[in-house]
Structure 1
Amino acid sequence: MLKRWLLPLVMIVLMLSGCGATLESSDSEGTNDAATEDLGTDVDQAGEDSDQAQNEVNNESSENEAATDTAVNDDITDTGETSTEDTNPIEASGNMTVHFIDVGQGDSILIETASGNVLVDAGNWNGRAVIDYLNRRGVTHLDLMIATHSDADHIGQMPLILDALTVDEVWMNGVESTSKTFENTINLIMEKDIVYYEPEVGDGIDFGDVAIDVLGPITKTNDANKDSIVTKVTHGTIDILLTGDAGIKEEATMINQFGTGLQSEILKLGHHGSNTSTSAAFLETVKPEAVIISASEKNSYGHPHEEVVARLIKAGVDVYQTSQHGDVVFQSDGQKLKLIEANDYPTTPVVTKDDSTNETKEDTTVAPPVQSPAPDAQADDTTNKQDVQSGACVDINTASKEELMTIIHIGEERADQLIKLRPFDSVDQLTRIKGIAAGRLKDIKTENKACVR
């Protein structure tokens, strides 16, 4: 039976081969489609179901690949617009682009490399500046997200980002917070099965020729600011130091540990330019060419503090303030840095002659009492569970000495200390006051009177 139709079939095939030599590729595809249709309805339906399932997988894979391609193909211009060219300027030139995003009163730094994207901090809880910036840049995938600490002006938009973008790994310092922002962040990390890690000094990660090394905290205190994750980003001979809200004591510890190893071309100023950070000794050790102050204009904390600004002027460094320069973007080729975006504004801050004498103050000078914060500068109203019951709340940042003394364990002496140490980002930071440790802090929180609004 087989032999009877085999010869005619061979002849037909030979004829078709001769005729089809001039056919377009689309005709071949049409022939294949027709052959497929001849297989029958049941087979067609099964094939469609299989194709649909495969297409869903392919679409998801394509979206992920497109996200990665978009993230690394963006070309920075003076206007901050995304390039539409098919070339990959970052990968082609081996560049690293670092964006200090204008998030108002908070921190957020995007690091773009040919091998991955890293976001350090995510701005304040009451805005969308970070997620909107990432959207404008076409960034849909983050290889690593580092939260220097759990304050709401550093992890504020993490829930938005974790929900909208693909994030491979998250680093946090392990100091918990009672804010809803923190709870939502942790819930999303668990829900999306994102790799979670609490790095130690000496840990690091490489993205091609860009290295990120952890330099702090050297000694953990369970205080959010003091335990800020400090990282040094290295690209060839270029170094960028990111310190979160680490204070003067933490700076001194890093000086003792690393010495000249702290030297960096760019320093992101600790604690938004507060005088609780950036000691003269630290500035002298790091020897930055430029510093970044990430703070909102006329914020209620008075950041950057005058003595810090005077110290920067004396050191002769370029000072970029997001409140004035907007988004500040640098690009590194591994040998030199290039400023590619910033508002046209003087890099030398202006202080009066009298103010400049503040440089002689001790580095341990603390911030003055804060006035009632403006609505856009208020902390997350859920930063502490005590905040919910506002009727019984004694705001430790604005209350009078007499009001503070109504809080358990806060007598006259501790009330004076508290006022000198303002502002506080959360009730948990009352452990900065001498004599208040974990036990007394627990009593204060149980009383449910102290709060930060």
Structure 2
Amino acid sequence: MKRLATFGLLVLLALSGCTRRSSSEVVSVPPTPLSVKILKDNTQVFDVTTYVNDTISLQAEVLPKDAAQDVVWSVTDTALATISETGVVTGVAAGQTMVNVHALNYPDVKASLFLTVNQVAEQTGVGTGTSADDPFYKGYEGDGPLEVYFLETYKIYADSLLIKKGNIEILIDAGWQCDGEMNRDFLNEKVEDGRLDMVIASHGDADHTQGIPYIVRDIEHITSFLDYGRAGGESSAYKQLIRNRQQNDGAVYYTALDSINKVNGATNRYYFTSEFYVDVLNTGAYSDTSSGNANSLALLFCYQDFKFFTAGDLTTGSETSLLRNETLPQVSLYKASHHGSHGSNSQALMDTLNPYMVAIAASRAGAYNKNPGPPNPDDTYNLDGTKGHPAAAAVERIYKIPRISLNLNVFWNAANGTMKFSTNGGANDLVMEGSTPVKGYYDLTKTGGTPVWNEDLQDFENKVTGEENTKFHDTKVFTFRGYTSYLPAWVTKA
């Protein structure tokens, strides 16, 4: 027995020796948490707002960063909001409370933020817009003319339009992000009751949709959206805006394809009042999977005898299909498609519409896709506005339109700034009022084609001014571009 006991003791000693750590082995222990901060979209926040039944996702970061990142979330007043283990806040009732978080096992390493939960606003006096008896706007619409604004955008190619009749406003596109930010105050001023009746995205290109979430940021209510379809397009923020407004504002969402097929509550005519409506015209190209130029919405706005045709960047192929599918009337105002591109604006379509006035939305001289900024002595590209849209071929076709060949009523943002077209409902009572362009262009013929920087002015010399209300053919840039030969013979003879 003594031998067995001795043998067992030796085995235990041997085993204990095998598990003994060497003096050089280091055990890694996470550092003690010192602080924690609350993030939303990877940015530290101290107060957030959500709505009843809406959610918002928060993240926590424990410092130092190599400390354990496990945390515990809580809400001070669970009657107003709840929060999941992963930081997802859900609004329960309107009010204000605190969201709290602390590092796991370290209750004193904590942070809090202020949470506001708003009740979803109920829109009053709002219909579906799908019939004259159930228009979008059911209140007193207000007096005054119908106004169509072609908002000047900073970047060289972009569309942004606002249609206003009293208390009714419709936004069509908003250019790039910087354009939406630039025109936000303008929109806020025009939307006096805090409600846009419709937001329209003509197609998915970023120079049309990217600015929409930024220009409407301060708008309290949006009644409806109408766009090219369920394809994402180039601005996911725009599609997220629709989802948020549907959930939080009760906005309705219609697509062009649904409108033509009259499904999912949509129709091909939407009423703002019993006598002011927009028709979605059948181009045969609407899709829920594509959002390019060819898929652009073709729209006809009608108010009494006034008619306005606008079609985003619609291509000549889709224009041909449109002419087959629809019987189009003569219109008062025509927006040159695709900023006056040669691949749009077919002679057949424009002659059929035979507009009283044409507006070209291609805002400024300068480099393509350049962000806003003051004049710069090194930025001399296209100072005279001779490059880019509108294209010569499109301009030539525009001046062949029967009524335009007689009245020459063509206008362009680059010379006319933000343009306002006003009508009292007549077919031909339209009046254009321009404004001083943000960017403008320069007369380089005075300096032999060489830009001259003026240090005192902090601008180039010979900037063209005073053309706010000038027709396109009478602007200097028309001559700079060599378009004079496109004018009808009676003008050149005179």
Shorter-normalised TM range: 0.5 to 0.7
Q: Distance in 2 between the 1:101 and 1:355 partners?
A: 24
Secondary structure of the residue aligned to 2:159 is: coil
Q: Contact (CA 8 Å) 1:122, 1:157: kept in 2 or not?
A: yes
List, as ranges, runs of 4+ consecutive aligned residues in structure 1 with deviation greater than 4 Å: 59-65, 351-359
Per-residue CA deviation, residues 50-69 of structure 1 (Å, 9 max, x unaligned), is xx99xxxxx9999989xxxx
Instruction: Quote the residue 2:389 is aligned against.
Output: 303
Secondary structure of the residue aligned to 2:395 is: helix
Paired letter, 2:232: E
| 1:206 to 1:345, Cα distance in 2 relative to 1, 3 A | same
Answering whether residue 148 of structure 2 is matched by residue 98 of structure 1, we say: yes
Give the alignment of 1:221-260 within 5 angstroms: 222-259=290-327
| 1:149 to 1:283, Cα distance in 2 relative to 1, 3 A | same
Unmatched tracts of structure 2, length 5 or more: 1-93, 96-117, 125-138, 261-266, 369-386, 436-467, 488-494
Per-residue CA deviation, residues 89-147 of structure 1 (Å, 9 max, x unaligned), is 97335x31221111243112211124622111122223323322112335421011111
Per-residue CA deviation, residues 300-355 of structure 1 (Å, 9 max, x unaligned), is 47100011112223332411111110111122211243425214343133257976
Q: Distance in 2 between the 1:345 and 1:138 partners?
A: 25
Greater displacement, 198-207 / 268-277? 198-207
Instruction: Quote the residue 2:39 is aligned against.
Output: none
Q: Contact (CA 8 Å) 2:319, 2:349: kept in 1 or not?
A: yes
Q: Distance in 2 between the 1:269 and 1:212 partners?
A: 18
Instruction: Quote the residue 1:326 is aligned against.
Output: 417
Q: RMSD in angstroms over aligned alpha carbons?
A: 3.3
Instruction: Quote the residue 1:176 is aligned against.
Output: 232
Q: Contact (CA 8 Å) 1:234, 1:240: kept in 2 or not?
A: yes
Q: Distance in 2 between the 1:170 and 1:62 partners?
A: 17
Q: TM-score, with normalisation over the residues of structure 2?
A: 0.51
* Displacement of 1:298: 2.7
| 1:61 to 1:196, Cα distance in 2 relative to 1, 3 A | closer
Identity rate of aligned residues, in percent?
24
Q: Distance in 2 between the 1:267 and 1:195 partners?
A: 28
Q: Contact (CA 8 Å) 2:395, 2:486: kept in 1 or not?
A: no
| 1:353 to 1:137, Cα distance in 2 relative to 1, 3 A | closer
Q: Count how many residue pairs are aligned between Structure 1 and Structure 2.
A: 279
Q: Distance in 1 between the 2:203 and 2:291 partners?
A: 9
| 1:189 to 1:149, Cα distance in 2 relative to 1, 3 A | farther
Q: Distance in 1 between the 2:171 and 2:276 partners?
A: 14
Q: Contact (CA 8 Å) 1:125, 1:181: kept in 2 or not?
A: no
Paired letter, 1:194: A
Give the alignment of 1:263-302 within 5 angstroms: 263-298=330-365, 300=368, 302=388
Q: Distance in 2 between the 1:337 and 1:63 partners?
A: 38
Q: Distance in 2 between the 1:135 and 1:155 partners?
A: 18
Instruction: Quote the residue 2:176 is aligned against.
Output: 124
Secondary structure of the residue aligned to 1:133 is: helix
Highest CA radius of gyration, 1 or 2?
Answer: 2
Q: Contact (CA 8 Å) 2:335, 2:358: kept in 1 or not?
A: yes
| 1:354 to 1:116, Cα distance in 2 relative to 1, 3 A | closer
Paired letter, 2:393: E
Give the alignment of 1:326-405 within 5 angstroms: 326-335=417-426, 336-339=428-431, 341-343=433-435, 344-349=468-473, 350-351=478-479
Whichever structure has more strand as a proportion of its residues is: 2
Q: Contact (CA 8 Å) 1:102, 1:129: kept in 2 or not?
A: no
Q: Distance in 1 between the 2:252 and 2:166 partners?
A: 22
Q: Contact (CA 8 Å) 1:163, 1:188: kept in 2 or not?
A: no
